């Protein structure tokens, strides 16, 4: 699907629903989803044997409600969500903007689940993005170079339930969200996060997570400015010394009277 517009949908399961046992490729590109009060896009695949691929690229989601995008790639589906814009969704404060789910089978560690170079701005609801991966096996999950700003999320800007997603080089600036990142860990695994700008130096604002799940050095060091020595006192122009300033030999020693130093 390319260059489609899905608008003002209020009935049925979703504006666009892709639900099948298996599909070799699902590709949605350069499309607009707006003013939908049911989920705008649901992709639900049951990949068991042959790998599949889902791509959502260069599309815009603006002023929608419910869980705006819900993608489930099953056991062996690859995913790319890139260069999309999510703007002013979930103004009712309910649900979340984007939910990604997978249940990788054994041997899926090289299957990519990529969410990159997207913009999430001025969204409400519980979260802007939720990344989940069920089961004990891993896929190659990555959430990187995304920009999240001015969202007002009651839970967190991003909710993470699995150690198999890496968070890299994202830019967070959501002062009115409860947290930037909610890590749903029991403390048995550590978050993989590098080079992110969390938009705050307050760890309690940035993260909702067991302390044992946060890697050392996840927050940038706050630069402390050195204390400057006291500057020399400024002599008012009306002082006697200022009246002698035109004399090159004036060393501020002695006594100044009538523009002469004694």
- CA distance readout (Å), 14 to 19, 56, 139: 11, 16, 27
Instruction: Count CB-CB contacts under 10 A for residue 260.
Output: 12
Please write the tens of the pLDDT for every residue from 51-106.
889 999 999 999 999 999 999 998 889 999 999 999 999 999 999 999 999 998 88
**Torsion-angle region of 157 (φ positive above 0: left; ψ -120 to 50: alpha; else: beta):** alpha
C-alpha span between 66 and 98 (Å, rounded)? 10
Domain ranges of the chain: 5-213
Task: Give me the residue label for tokens 């947290």.
Answer: 179
Q: Tokens representing 133?
A: 């991966």
Which range among 44-58, 65-79, 209-223, 241-255 has the greatest average pLDDT? 65-79
Q: What is the pLDDT of residue 256?
A: 52
C-alpha angle 148-151-153 in degrees, rounded to nearest 5 = 115
In sequence order, the 6+-apart residues with CB closer than 8 A to the CB of 214 are 183, 190, 191, 203, 207
Residue percentage of the chain with pLDDT more than 70: 83
Q: Are 214 and 190 in contact (CB under 8 A)?
A: yes
Q: What is the pLDDT of residue 223?
A: 38
pTM beyond 0.85: no
Q: What is the pLDDT of residue 23?
A: 80
Residue 146, pLDDT above cutoff 90: yes
Q: What is the pLDDT of residue 261?
A: 44
């Amino acid at each position: 699907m390319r260059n489609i517009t899905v608008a003002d949908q209020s009935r049925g399961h979703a504006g666009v629903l892709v639900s099948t046992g298996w599909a070799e490729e699902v590709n949605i590109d350069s499309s607009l989803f707006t003013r939908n009060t049911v989920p705008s896009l649901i992709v639900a695949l049951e990949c068991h044997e042959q790998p599949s691929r889902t791509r959502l690229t260069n599309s815009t989601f603006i002023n929608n409600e419910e869980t705006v995008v819900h993608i489930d790639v099953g056991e062996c589906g690859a995913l790319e969500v890139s260069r999309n814009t999510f703007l002013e969704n979930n103004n009712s404060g309910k649900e979340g903007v984007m939910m990604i789910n997978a249940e990788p089978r054994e041997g899926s560690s090289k299957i990519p689940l990529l969410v990159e170079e997207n913009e999430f701005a001025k969204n409400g609801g519980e979260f802007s993005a939720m990344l989940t991966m069920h089961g004990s096996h891993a896929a190659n999950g990555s959430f990187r170079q995304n920009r999240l700003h001015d969202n007002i999320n009651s839970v967190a800007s991003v909710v993470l339930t699995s150690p198999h997603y890496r968070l890299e080089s994202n830019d967070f600036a959501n002062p009115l969200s409860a947290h930037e990142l909610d890590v749903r860990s029991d403390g048995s695994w550590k978050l993989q996060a590098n080079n992110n700008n969390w938009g705050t130096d307050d760890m309690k604002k940035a993260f909702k997570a067991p302390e044992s799940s946060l890697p050392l050095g996840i927050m940038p060091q706050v630069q402390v400015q050195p204390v400057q020595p006291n500057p020399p006192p400024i002599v008012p122009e009306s002082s006697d010394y200022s009246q002698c300033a035109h004399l090159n030999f004036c060393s501020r020693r002695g006594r100044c009277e009538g523009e002469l130093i004694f």
